[in-house]
Structure 1
Amino acid sequence: MKNIKRFSAITIIGILLLVFNSCDDTSEVFTISTPSAPVLAELGFTDLELDAVNTGNPAVTLNWNEANYGQQVSINYAIQFASDNAFTSPVTAATITGKTAITLSVNEINAAAGNAGLNPFEWKTLYARIVSSIGSQNSEKAISNAIEFNVYPYFNYVFNDYYLVGGGVAPGWNNNSNNPPLFRDASDSNAYYYTGFFNKPGGYDEGRFKILETIGLWQPQWGVTESEGSDDPKTSGSIAGNPGTQSNDPGRFGVPTTGYYTFMINFASKTYTLVPYNATGKTSPASLTVKGTSTADVTMAALAFDGHIWYAKNVRLTPGNIEFVTGAGANWGGSTSFSGVATENGGAVPVIVEDDYDVWFNDLTGRYILIPLNL
């Protein structure tokens, strides 16, 4: 007796649909093998002293063997540098596609060294490697061997500086009138602070201010995302910039009443806060002097608008250190160059490169900033 298998009509239709769908599937599957990493060739030298004059000249040519992905694919290569062989904080200096050699200029190597954390004007080991990938999403990365060489960088000032302008702050709506700077966070170069007096005599348009990037120029400028006229004073919000985020000028920051406030702005997150600050009982020193091995004594002046903000303009500083010394003999200092928070008996502020500086100090918060004028 034959065994007869019976199928329902639904089962037969399902099988036919599966067959038809299989026949219609004309997509191709792209497969690659586990990539073999590029091999970076050693350099023909061990020491590289960078020339601060001829910064466009070629400095280093890197060559490597092509990575292998088991297919004919276009391969992306990222050229990375770091201050340690583990590449704890790698810096990508350049990217290319489909080539296995690149020449980097003096300026590019100097920038990579500075961004990797190497100090200017001292010999230090710099590590290099190649990271391959494929596709627009830089997938399937493969990392080459690391090579090293000693480099002597010149100074590379990698920071941005920002200044107040507006009716609510010291210079008024004058873009070149001893505009106070924002004080940069020493551990986060995207974060800036200003604690001080803001004036709002009355009226909707009073107590307003914006942020400029260059003294004497109206652009680039930063403000709020709301248009002028709809820019109600707020304690926090998003920032906009011309040309940072748009082609037209942004709205204005503003305080609701006259008083002391702490303004914080972050150019990475594009946000700000503006909150009241209790300055009750906060008295300024009778005088303040810049002292140290970097300069002869320089007397600082306090803003007439806000006596807690001190400045000394166009001060020549040489490598060494400075402190802020009050008339009563208190010494204020910190451990970070260019910007930071000074404390009483906090040590000396390091000066790592010679230049003319504008020096600013806030006796409410201890924040200081040294802005080089020629770097």
Structure 2
Amino acid sequence: MKNIKYITFFIAAMTLGLFTISCEDDSDLFTATPTTPITLAELPVTTIVLDATNPGNPAVTFSWNEANYGQPAAENYLVQLSSDQAFTNPVDATSVSGTTTATLSVNELNSSAGSAGLPPFTLSTLYARVVSSIGAQNGLPVSSNVISFEVQPYFNYAFEDYYLVGNGTSADWNNNSNNPPLFRDAENGNLYNYTGFFTKGAGGEGDGRFKILEIRGQWQPQWGTAYPDGSDPIETSGAIAGNPGTQDSDPGRFGIESDGYYTFTINFSSNTYSIAPYSESGATVYSSMTLQGSGIGSDTPMTQLSFDSHLWYVSSVNLQPGDIQIMTSSGSTWGGSTEFSGIATDGGGSIPVVVQDDYEVWFNDLTGEYIMIPLNL
């Protein structure tokens, strides 16, 4: 029936003298046909050890023959990696068009290997294939053969950590005095909270103030309010500014009006902050906290912050892949489900440790928040 319709249209077009239109419609008859699977070449090396000191260097180049879809159009090629030969959960590493090679940098291969589930610092098998397709909609996809090679990824700690400084905090205006860290939200890496005691000190306008540092021992980068430093009223919410994050001059100071417990929240996505009173009345005051679990060599006591009895820390402890829990002086065991930061609950399972390193660990028994900061990654 389709051929009859084209013939009828052609006769009608000739009758009207519209031969050029029929020729244009005739071009629509060209169709692509599925290509035979392309061949992905074996790599000249079988083992790749990734070096974190040169993340931009080329790590691996894949090459294959050109697909043939029967049309003079550029073909698309998607390089996929997987931890298993069946490509149960493939990772899209890179894509190219109109060329038959693709190179991944050290950082790109490391990221893809991690996304595929390969553990860091261990040689593991990684599988690769190329999926060819055609057109803007990636039509007629066909997978190549599968090759494999050994990869040793490194671990890339992708998070930022922030620390309190100021006369409203335990560190005073000392930028390297066991400054407590903010607790990073496990679901939103740009959202941070700190619930704890702040002091107004002598009660003056310049007392009860604080800022946020990115690196202990360094005054920049620092974050504060959008007001100029020294001309900064005490407010419960507003915009944040940073030197050098948003400007060259130092930002204003956050502040509280009286001694007490507060929840300070800062959002680096919206560049906003808020400070709200927090009631700790009725909260249990523990006499001890201990780290335990398969991720730690032996039970390790945590230190109670003298400035705030609800904050506990270990300055440095070696953790290995496994899990940890926090045991309180009452015998209860607290745990969470997210690595590096999250919220622990009484009987809440185990906190995963995904990579070996020396860690600084903090725990807030008011909120259950914990943060594990690797010291060498």
TM over 0.5: yes
Relative distance call for 1:172 and 1:81 in structure 2 (3 A) is farther
Q: Distance in 2 between matches of 1:89 and 1:170?
A: 45
The DSSP-based 3-state class of the residue aligned with 1:238 is strand
Relative distance call for 1:205 and 1:128 in structure 2 (3 A) is farther
The DSSP-based 3-state class of the residue aligned with 2:257 is coil
Q: Distance in 1 between matches of 2:39 and 2:301?
A: 55
Q: Distance in 1 between matches of 2:38 and 2:165?
A: 51
Q: Distance in 1 between matches of 2:254 and 2:132?
A: 44
The equivalent of 1:157 in structure 2 is: 157
Task: Give CA deviations for 1:47-66 in whole Å, capped at 9, x if unaligned.
Answer: 76533477556321145869
Larger deviation, residues 264-273 vs 161-170:
264-273
Task: Give CA deviations for 1:88-129 in whole Å, capped at 9, x if unaligned.
Answer: 99677xx99998755333333113444677553484767787
Q: Distance in 2 between matches of 1:129 and 1:208?
A: 57
The equivalent of 1:297 in structure 2 is: 299
TM-score by length of 2: 0.73
The equivalent of 1:30 in structure 2 is: none
Equivalent residues of 1:82, 1:90 under 8 A apart = no
The equivalent of 1:363 in structure 2 is: 365
1:273 Cα shift? 1.7
The equivalent of 1:194 in structure 2 is: 194
Q: Distance in 1 between matches of 2:105 and 2:130?
A: 17
Q: Distance in 1 between matches of 2:82 and 2:234?
A: 44
Q: Distance in 2 between matches of 1:226 and 1:200?
A: 20
Q: Distance in 2 between matches of 1:116 and 1:225?
A: 42
Equivalent residues of 2:59, 2:106 under 8 A apart = yes
Paired residue type of 1:42: L
The equivalent of 2:322 in structure 1 is: 320
Q: Distance in 1 between matches of 2:132 and 2:253?
A: 44
Larger deviation, residues 100-109 vs 260-269:
100-109
Task: Give CA deviations for 1:18-68 in whole Å, capped at 9, x if unaligned.
Answer: xxxxxxxxxxxxxxxxxxxxx9973524976533477556321145869xx
Q: Distance in 1 between matches of 2:249 and 2:81?
A: 38
Q: Does 1:42 align with 2:40?
A: yes
The equivalent of 2:50 in structure 1 is: 51
1:292 Cα shift? 1.4
Residues 203-242 of structure 1 aligned to structure 2 (within 5 Å): 203-242=204-243
Residues 22-37 of structure 1 aligned to structure 2 (within 5 Å): none
1:295 Cα shift? 2.4
Relative distance call for 1:247 and 1:332 in structure 2 (3 A) is same
Paired residue type of 1:344: D
1:344 Cα shift? 0.7
The equivalent of 2:343 in structure 1 is: 341
Task: Give CA deviations for 1:287-335 in whole Å, capped at 9, x if unaligned.
Answer: 1111112221111111111111101111111222211111221111111
The equivalent of 1:288 in structure 2 is: 289
The DSSP-based 3-state class of the residue aligned with 1:225 is strand
Equivalent residues of 1:284, 1:307 under 8 A apart = yes
1:249 Cα shift? 1.4
Q: Distance in 2 between matches of 1:347 and 1:235?
A: 36
Task: Give CA deviations for 1:142-170 in whole Å, capped at 9, x if unaligned.
Answer: 69877776755232211111111111111
Q: Distance in 2 between matches of 1:234 and 1:146?
A: 59
Q: Distance in 2 between matches of 1:220 and 1:128?
A: 43
Q: Distance in 1 between matches of 2:274 and 2:128?
A: 40
Relative distance call for 1:155 and 1:204 in structure 2 (3 A) is same
Q: Does 1:275 align with 2:276?
A: yes
1:269 Cα shift? 2.0
Task: Give CA deviations for 1:195-246 in whole Å, capped at 9, x if unaligned.
Answer: 0011113122111111111111111111111112332222222211111122
The equivalent of 1:308 in structure 2 is: 310
| Pairs aligned (count) | 334
Residues 244-283 of structure 1 aligned to structure 2 (within 5 Å): 244-283=245-284
The equivalent of 2:376 in structure 1 is: 374
Relative distance call for 1:117 and 1:244 in structure 2 (3 A) is farther
Relative distance call for 1:188 and 1:54 in structure 2 (3 A) is closer
The DSSP-based 3-state class of the residue aligned with 1:196 is strand
Residues 10-25 of structure 1 aligned to structure 2 (within 5 Å): none
The equivalent of 2:175 in structure 1 is: 175
The equivalent of 1:31 in structure 2 is: none
1:79 Cα shift? 8.4
The DSSP-based 3-state class of the residue aligned with 1:210 is strand
Relative distance call for 1:264 and 1:40 in structure 2 (3 A) is farther
Q: Distance in 2 between matches of 1:246 and 1:97?
A: 41
Task: Give CA deviations for 1:264-294 in whole Å, capped at 9, x if unaligned.
Answer: 1121222222111111111321111111122
TM-score by length of 1: 0.73
The DSSP-based 3-state class of the residue aligned with 1:189 is coil
Q: Distance in 1 between matches of 2:365 and 2:209?
A: 24
Q: Distance in 2 between matches of 1:100 and 1:332?
A: 53
1:345 Cα shift? 0.9
Q: Distance in 2 between matches of 1:358 and 1:178?
A: 11
Equivalent residues of 2:90, 2:116 under 8 A apart = no
The equivalent of 1:32 in structure 2 is: none
Equivalent residues of 1:167, 1:209 under 8 A apart = yes
Q: Distance in 2 between matches of 1:339 and 1:288?
A: 18
Q: Where does structure 2 lack aligned partners over 5 or more consecutive residues?
A: 1-36
Equivalent residues of 1:82, 1:91 under 8 A apart = no
Q: Distance in 2 between matches of 1:253 and 1:126?
A: 51
The DSSP-based 3-state class of the residue aligned with 1:226 is strand
The equivalent of 1:29 in structure 2 is: none
Larger deviation, residues 107-116 vs 181-190:
107-116
Equivalent residues of 1:113, 1:153 under 8 A apart = yes
Relative distance call for 1:83 and 1:199 in structure 2 (3 A) is farther
